[in-house]
Amino acid sequence: MTYQALQIEKDDAGYRCTLQTLDDSALPEGDVTVQVDYSTVNYKDGLAITGKSPVVRKFPLTPGIDLAGTVTESQHPLFKAGDQVVLNGWGVGESHSGGLAQKARLKGDWLVKLPAAFTPRQAMAIGTAGYTAMLCVMALQKHGVTPASGDILVTGAGGGVGSVAIALLAKLGYRVVASTGRLQEADYLRQLGAADVMDRAELSAPGKPLAKERWAGVVDTVGSHTLANACASTKYGGVVTACGLAQGMDFPSSVAPFILRGVTLAGIDSVMAPRAVREAAWARLAQDLDTAQLERMTREVGLADAIGLGAEILAGQVRGRVVVKISDVI
């Protein structure tokens, strides 16, 4: 039996990602085999597909940190053939072949049952980006940020995490300020629920340790000076959730916001989050995400198109979310 898959190779001929027909013997070890219906392209997939950062730790490897599909074989007690499942993270698409393929073989411990509220396509429109946005919102709430606390800044607003975060926060009644480098997308961001749109240039240059207090909470997908400036302009007792590094991995800040304003910096990791946290986040997505808004931010492509989208997402040119319809290649 064979299947179609993106395959990343690295050898004397260089680093490349191509669409290939693979034999089932290429599937990695695992106790559950899944026929993939949809996958998606996240920022990390862009890093893997292009090789711009060394996120792929094994070659050859199929990229794709997310998938939604149907179990075809299982030796895992929680899953049986016919179950619809979702996978996000756990090193899949980095050190274990991932979702940008017609078939995947995985550890059942990594899988979550597809929430009844979502189709496989919607689950991938959400993907790791949307599930991470939900983790950020849950962290703001856990630390006591309510709609009455004040404005919430969302950076990298036009991207996947940013777009879902805006839709979630707006539906929950928060007043959202969207920071973007694409002011031409202001109408899109307002339609998602942003009350205000600001130029990311206001946040991306080196700033002062403390600035005027503006934010009750922050969802930062960008890192670097943007995260430092977001902390510096967070109100007394406010909460900054840090999940991304689109501007950079550095954090050129000082302790001033933390020791003088009691600001909380909450780190967000989606990859190794335990099953209970994942299930809670998916349950909250079913409750708090407007599926019409999700559709507004989503475009659909075929498996071969995902290759070019790798460079596009790293260049900040992808708006919202991209789903990859795997069955298109059959």
How far from 248 is each of 46, 181, 220, 221, 314, CA to CA, in Å? Answer: 15, 15, 12, 10, 12
Q: What span, in angstroms and rounded, lies between the C-alpha atoms of 311 and 266?
A: 29
Give the nearer residue to ligand NDP in terms of CB position, either 202 or 269: 269
Signed CA dihedral, 241, 166, 65, 291: sign only: positive
List b or e across 81-99, with b for residues whose CB sees 16 or more CB atoms inside 10 angstroms. Answer: eebbbbbbbbebbbebbbb
Does 33 sit near ligand NDP (CB under 6 A)?
no
Tokens of 48: 């893997």
Work out how close the CB of 114 gets to ligand NDP at its nearest, in angstroms, rounded to a whole number.
Answer: 20
Q: Among 243, 289, 297, 324, which residue sits at the site for ligand NDP (rule: CB under 6 A)? A: 243
Give the nearer residue to ligand NDP in terms of CB position, either 91 or 237: 91
Q: Among 69, 93, 158, 310, which residue sits at the site for ligand NDP (rule: CB under 6 A)? A: 158
Work out how close the CB of 3 gets to ligand NDP at its nearest, in angstroms, rounded to a whole number.
Answer: 26
Q: What span, in angstroms and rounded, lies between the C-alpha atoms of 118 and 126?
A: 10
Does 159 sit near ligand NDP (CB under 6 A)?
yes
Q: Among 132, 229, 234, 264, which residue sits at the site for ligand NDP (rule: CB under 6 A)? A: 132
Work out how close the CB of 41 gets to ligand NDP at its nearest, in angstroms, rounded to a whole number.
Answer: 8
Tokens of 186: 């202001």
Q: Pick the stretch among 53-61, 112-120, 253-261, 310-318 that binds ligand NDP (CB under 6 A).
A: 310-318
Does 161 sit near ligand NDP (CB under 6 A)?
yes
Q: Among 204, 229, 241, 298, which residue sits at the site for ligand NDP (rule: CB under 6 A)? A: 204
DSSP string across 69-117:
EEEEEE-STT--TT-EEEEE-TTBTTTB--SSBSEEEE-GGG-EEPPTT
Give the nearer residue to ligand NDP in terms of CB position, either 69 or 162: 162
Does 181 sit near ligand NDP (CB under 6 A)?
yes
Give the nearer residue to ligand NDP in terms of CB position, either 182 or 261: 182
Report the chain's C-alpha Rg in angstroms: 20
Does 202 sit near ligand NDP (CB under 6 A)?
no
Whether the ω angle into residue 60 lies within 30 degrees of 0, i.e. cis, is yes
Q: What span, in angstroms and rounded, lies between the C-alpha atoms of 214 and 116?
A: 39
Q: Among 109, 250, 269, 279, which residue sits at the site for ligand NDP (rule: CB under 6 A)? A: 269
Output the 3-class SS for 105-118: EECHHHCEECCCCC
Where do contacts with ligand NDP occur on this chain (CB under 6 A)?
Answer: 42-44, 128-129, 132, 156-162, 180-182, 200, 204, 221-222, 226, 243-247, 268-271, 313, 316, 318
